[in-house]
Structure 1
Amino acid sequence: MAEKTDTGGAELSMRKASWRHVGPGIVVAATGVGAGDLVATLIAGSKFGYTLMWAAVIGCLVKISLAEAVGRWHLATGRTLFEGWRTLGSWTTVYFVIYVVIWGFVYGATAMSSSALPLHALFGGMELKYWAILCGLVGLAFVWFNKYAVFEKVMTILVGVMFVIVVYVAIRVSPDIGASFAGLAPVLPDGSILYTLGLIGGVGGTITMASYGYWVNAKGWTDSSWMKVMRLDNRVAYVTTGIFVVAMLIVGAELLHASNIALAEGDKGLLSLSDILERRFDETTAKLFLIGFFATSFTSLIGVWHGVSLLFADFVEYYRKQRAEIMFADAAPPTTDSAVAEVAEGQRETSVPFRAYVLWLTFPPMALLWWDQPFQLVIIYGVLGAFFMPFLALTLVWLLNTSRTPHEWRNGWLSNGMLTAAGLLFIVLCVQQVRELPW
């Protein structure tokens, strides 16, 4: 017999978790793992070999806890994450608005450039910045004209491409199985603390983790009867991400650490790895890796174009409703045709705020492809970005331990422990990132 739960006084049959439902978790995990994460993992492997394998595994568990908490909030309360933040005070709104405006402007250029690098290496033909513009325009058109169902299918295909290619390369470099298992023992070599923290907290952790609940709702999961399905979806996604990260660590350990080869920082380090693969194996392997590099970068681009735009649309929608309540406090409420009416979940992807933010991510950042990023903007972007993950982890602890969440879906000791540990970890990473800014 199906389990029963009571959310808001209604009895709901718990749906059976099934592999055929998996989707939103793959989307959020793929979006969070970008080219920069690949480089960070490769460099950790090149410097310390297999020693930090345990950190990659813990990082996977941290992300499972965070994404599960986001999904649980949406399903248990029927409210979006932004609505939850708003109940904590107006300071959350101020932070969010500043963050999405500045972060989106700088990230747009970063995502376009990262997607352009492997295409330029594969095909040449025109300058890198024009490849970047092309990637931005293709991402814009794709998100503009397709709703979630198509978006999820394309993301899943790209994830399959990047996963198969990276695992294939890891197998080609002949991993040391014994050393990789030995790397599961928690050891901190000299000088490894920042790389360890980066592996645990950095890979697959961006603002798009906050988008998970919106993608869960867009999938049609709208109440707590989907809780088991969401949890399976989340675990499958981040186990897949964990295997992906371990594969990159193996490549770094075997191809770079064993040969004492240093990899360049930043996305261009992946181009260097392509050259190394060509010298070590053949041109086909190098080109396959560049295709995987593009799939990794482009999933992050379209994932942000879609997911963060949903967050922004929810923010605008919430304030339209707030303003409408004030305007019509002493009059009849507006009709459902009013511009201030609540946007249905399926309509949010075609709403004006959603599309306005997609345009913001695409066109203004193109200016940064010609000029260096303004100094002050880089500093503000770095500070806001560093603060987001501790903000997410600690506000989830707050939301999921209070009456804002139905009692049966509040945090248990394990979830509280994981989210609190994640929050503290992200604070340490935040302090380090702020210290490294070009003040």
Structure 2
Amino acid sequence: MAETSETPGTPATAPDPSDPPPRRSSWRHIGPGIVVAATGVGAGDLVATLIAGSNFGYTLLWAAVLGCLVKIALAEAAGRWHLATGRTLFDGWHSLGRWTTVFFAVYVVVWGFVYGAAAMASSALPLQALFPDGWSLETWGVVCGLVGLAFVWFNRYAVFEKAMTVLVGVMFLVTVYLAVRVTPNLADAFAGLLPVLPDEKDSVLNTLGLIGGVGGTITLAAYGYWVNAKGWTGPGWMRTMRLDNRVAYATTGVFVVAMLFVGAELLHSSGVAIASGERGLLDLSEVLEDRYGGATAKLFLIGFFATSFTSLIGVWHGVSLMFADFVARLHGDGTGRGSGESVASGERQRSWAFRGYLLWLTFPPMALLFQGQPFRLVILYGVLGAAFLPFLALTLVWLLNSDRTPREWRNGPLSNLMLCLAGLLFVVLCVKQVVDQPWGDFF
């Protein structure tokens, strides 16, 4: 691969990939997009969509679809940076200044600690509901964390991708089945594609939250790492990457629309309310059991588990890759040449940094399962999580409009528009998150 410049701000040159890309995009190459979309759509996203359908019917269907388009733009930009420059995203961030290193270091430590507990608890909830006479929620959470750790530790990307694809298939079948089962009103659904705001207090912020919250996590930034892990290096893979990304978020759109249908038809029409957070899905399983029987409820809980566990192992794999690249960059091994090849060959996954962060995601958070989440840590987690997506969107605008990116692969007008809109959206949501935090109790 051709050497890229290590000096921040110097023009980038496109890499010379050793493996020739296909002449045409092919469905058989699709994979990293499915991984990033499945990881980003967690149980909390499905609950948010359900509640939107429950409260507003089909009115905010357009917002859910727009949210998927925003994530397509973000993931495409991350993948384009990796392929066009041969450098990893963290290498690009580092070129913008040391402030990015400080932000990411604090973020990845605090976020990973709290997210580890949240992911294990979310995966444990449907298992406890499926086996009510079995283990406690905490025990199921520990088991899910250990299974995720072992799976990512001992398997390479190809096996990881296949497992994620199977779990996505389960999610897809379950959500589509439920959407068909509730018999959606298609006329109202098509009307919901018109951008109309509900006539209620805080409807603008609720709408922005739905747009920004569906499938949006740090794993959008991990997409480029999974692209490299797939073996895609160089601009010749650009068309394949874009097809992969669009198919993945079209699948995400199906999940989102299907759950909004369920919320609109099953909850809104009958005035049934569910809890916020992952426990809202347990409420839904009870509604499904009353309406359609135990088999449908159990099928839904299986889909709930698939949704949660894909997020768990996706973060265990993708964010650990990012952390390994972060550590390598601090040790002077973060150029695109070294990082991209290491991710693709699996060397990063065998590194002490990758495995160390896997352990950080798994074992310290287990204490939170048994003791409850420390209040101050949860506040920091919420603020840092809200700040990451504006950081991602705005730094991608910076990187992909500068001479760090080869001219032909820099942002066009549409990409700039989508990324700037995403950045503005996430800044508004970040400010709201910061304002809503109980800072008086923090100090």
**TM over 0.5, shorter chain:** yes
Query: What does 1:324-339 correspond to in 2, within 5 Å?
Result: none
Q: Is the 8 A contact 2:225 2:322 kept in 1?
A: yes
> Where does residue 197 of structure 2 map in the other structure?
188
How far apart, CA to CA, are the structure 1 residues paired with 2:186 and 2:76? 31
> Where does residue 259 of structure 1 map in the other structure?
270
How far apart, CA to CA, are the structure 2 residues paired with 1:360 and 1:10? 36
Query: What does 1:188-337 correspond to in 2, within 5 Å?
Result: 188-189=197-198, 190-191=200-201, 192-321=203-332
> Where does residue 385 of structure 1 map in the other structure?
385
Q: Indicate how the Cα distance of structure 1 residues 225 and 121 shifts in structure 2: closer, same or farther if over 3 A, else same.
A: same
2:191 is aligned with what amino acid?
A: A
1:273 is aligned with what amino acid?
A: L
Correspondence 1:98 to 2:106: yes
> Where does residue 94 of structure 2 map in the other structure?
86
How far apart, CA to CA, are the structure 2 residues paired with 1:7 and 1:89? 20
How far apart, CA to CA, are the structure 2 residues paired with 1:426 and 1:142? 33
Question: Residue deviations 1:115-172, cap 9 Å, x none?
Answer: 0000000012111100000000000000000000000000000000011101100110
How far apart, CA to CA, are the structure 2 residues paired with 1:9 and 1:152? 25
Q: Is the 8 A contact 1:14 1:228 kept in 2?
A: no
Q: Indicate how the Cα distance of structure 1 residues 64 and 105 shifts in structure 2: closer, same or farther if over 3 A, else same.
A: same
1:431 is aligned with what amino acid?
A: V
Aligned CA RMSD, in angstroms, stands at 1.9
Question: Residue deviations 1:305-347, cap 9 Å, x none?
Answer: 00000000001111222699xxxxxxxxxxx9xxx9x946321
Question: Residue deviations 1:346-400, cap 9 Å, x none?
Answer: 2111111000000000000000011122122111111111100000000000000
Question: Residue deviations 1:229-258, cap 9 Å, x none?
Answer: 000000000011011100000000000000
1:26 shift after superposition: 0.3
2:383 is aligned with what amino acid?
A: V
SS in 1 for 2:408: helix
1:272 is aligned with what amino acid?
A: D
Query: What does 1:124-163 correspond to in 2, within 5 Å?
Result: 124=132, 125-163=134-172
Query: What does 1:389-428 correspond to in 2, within 5 Å?
Result: 389-428=389-428
Q: Quick one: which of 17, 33, 36 aligns to 1:28? A: 36
How far apart, CA to CA, are the structure 1 residues paired with 2:225 and 2:33? 11
Q: Indicate how the Cα distance of structure 1 residues 54 and 400 shifts in structure 2: closer, same or farther if over 3 A, else same.
A: same
How far apart, CA to CA, are the structure 2 residues paired with 1:262 and 1:22? 38
1:113 is aligned with what amino acid?
A: A
Correspondence 1:59 to 2:67: yes
Correspondence 1:169 to 2:188: no
> Where does residue 126 of structure 2 map in the other structure?
118
How far apart, CA to CA, are the structure 2 residues paired with 1:366 and 1:164? 32
- Count of matched residue positions in the alignment of Structure 1 and Structure 2: 419
1:371 is aligned with what amino acid?
A: Q
1:431 shift after superposition: 1.1
1:17 is aligned with what amino acid?
A: S
> Where does residue 3 of structure 1 map in the other structure?
none
SS in 1 for 2:308: helix
Taking structure 1 as the reference length, what is the TM-score of the superposition?
Answer: 0.93
Q: Where do 5+ consecutive residues of structure 1 fail to align?
A: 1-5, 325-335
Q: Indicate how the Cα distance of structure 1 residues 373 and 322 shifts in structure 2: closer, same or farther if over 3 A, else same.
A: same
Question: Residue deviations 1:155-190, cap 9 Å, x none?
Answer: 000000011101100110010000000000110012
How far apart, CA to CA, are the structure 1 residues paired with 2:36 and 2:334? 32
How far apart, CA to CA, are the structure 2 residues paired with 1:322 and 1:203? 34
How far apart, CA to CA, are the structure 2 residues paired with 1:282 and 1:206? 35
Q: Is the 8 A contact 1:50 1:180 kept in 2?
A: yes
Q: Is the 8 A contact 2:15 2:234 kept in 1?
A: no
1:52 shift after superposition: 0.4
How far apart, CA to CA, are the structure 2 residues paired with 1:99 and 1:182? 41
1:435 shift after superposition: 2.0
SS in 2 for 1:226: helix
How far apart, CA to CA, are the structure 2 residues paired with 1:240 and 1:213? 19
Q: Is the 8 A contact 1:65 1:418 kept in 2?
A: yes
Question: Residue deviations 1:35-63, cap 9 Å, x none?
Answer: 11011000000000000010011111101
1:144 is aligned with what amino acid?
A: W
How far apart, CA to CA, are the structure 2 residues paired with 1:193 and 1:9? 44
> Where does residue 348 of structure 2 map in the other structure?
348
How far apart, CA to CA, are the structure 2 residues paired with 1:426 and 1:412? 21
How far apart, CA to CA, are the structure 2 residues paired with 1:406 and 1:162? 39
> Where does residue 333 of structure 1 map in the other structure?
none
Q: Indicate how the Cα distance of structure 1 residues 344 and 379 shifts in structure 2: closer, same or farther if over 3 A, else same.
A: closer
Correspondence 1:73 to 2:81: yes
How far apart, CA to CA, are the structure 2 residues paired with 1:203 and 1:318? 31
How far apart, CA to CA, are the structure 1 residues paired with 2:118 and 2:15? 47
1:9 shift after superposition: 8.2
2:238 is aligned with what amino acid?
A: M
1:154 is aligned with what amino acid?
A: A
> Where does residue 332 of structure 1 map in the other structure?
none
1:382 is aligned with what amino acid?
A: G
1:212 is aligned with what amino acid?
A: Y
> Where does residue 327 of structure 1 map in the other structure?
none
SS in 2 for 1:26: helix
Question: Residue deviations 1:38-90, cap 9 Å, x none?
Answer: 11000000000000010011111101100000000000000000000000000
Q: Is the 8 A contact 2:399 2:405 kept in 1?
A: yes
Q: Is the 8 A contact 1:14 1:224 kept in 2?
A: no
